[in-house]
A = this chain, B = another copy of it.
Amino acid sequence: MALEHAILVSLAEKSASGYDLARRFDASIAHFWKASHQQIYKVLGRMESDKWVEAHLVEQTGRPDKKVYAITDEGRAELLRWSSLPTPIESPRSEIAVKVRGLRFGDRDAVLSDVRVRRQAHLAQLAYYEASAAKHYPDPSALGDDELGAYLVLRAGLMQEQMGIAWCDEILQAFVDREADR
């Protein structure tokens, strides 16, 4: 499991409540790891028992109190230990690829319109990444040590979206060509 470790990385950068983490995951870690708030609260509880993080209650005015979690020395040690382990290559899971593979047994038009929807989603995400890159890393040749990891991951996101768009285009183009043949 790596959700624990994704949370550790996030907390190593900055302490946060479960709610904060859920939103931070949405905003910046979601490109390579998603988690619902339920999952995050559950894992945080376990991590607290394991002493990887410690919580203290912060009273707030105008909104509910929250529990802010901070990484402990044990947590940092765990992060170091985990990072030195070989990373298993994860099995890809692409439902749309299954549909494309089985196109001739399925509803062609529905799948193609699905591909168009995806293409749009990839475009939107790419635009978001590009804006983020322009804003935070205008000069990639002068990155600080603390920024390099986040920058490289953003690059992965960018490349992923570009590839997604290119693949959608190939699919759609293949069908345009076939129509033209008739």
Which of A94, A141, A143 has its CB near the most chain B CB atoms (within 10 A)? A94
Q: How far is the CA of A130 from the CA of B103 in the complex (A)?
A: 22
A106 pairs with B89, CB closer than 8 A: no
A13 shortest CB reach to chain B, Å: 8
Q: How far is the CA of A12 from the CA of B104 in the complex (A)?
A: 10
Q: Which of B79, B88, B101, B170 is in CB contact (< 8 Å) with A9?
A: B101
A153 within 8 A of B: yes
A167 shortest CB reach to chain B, Å: 5
Q: Which of B2, B9, B170 is in CB contact (< 8 Å) with A155?
A: B170
Quick one: given A12-B102, A98-B32, are A117 and B86 in contact (CB under 8 Å)? Answer: yes
Number of chain A residues whose Cβ lies closer than 8 Å to a Cβ of chain B: 67
A9 pairs with B98, CB closer than 8 A: yes
**Interface segment, one of A14-22, A49-57, A61-69, A144-152:** A144-152
For the complex formed by this chain, how many copies does it contain in all?
A: 2
A33 pairs with B92, CB closer than 8 A: yes
A68 shortest CB reach to chain B, Å: 19
Q: Which of B86, B106, B148, B159 is in CB contact (< 8 Å) with A79?
A: B106
Interface members, chain A 79-94 (any B CB < 8 Å) = 79-80, 82-94
Q: Which residues of A contact B (CB under 8 A)?
A: 2, 5-6, 8-9, 12, 29-34, 76, 79-80, 82-107, 110-111, 114, 117-118, 121, 141, 143, 145-146, 148-150, 152-153, 155-156, 159-160, 163, 166-167, 170-171, 174, 177
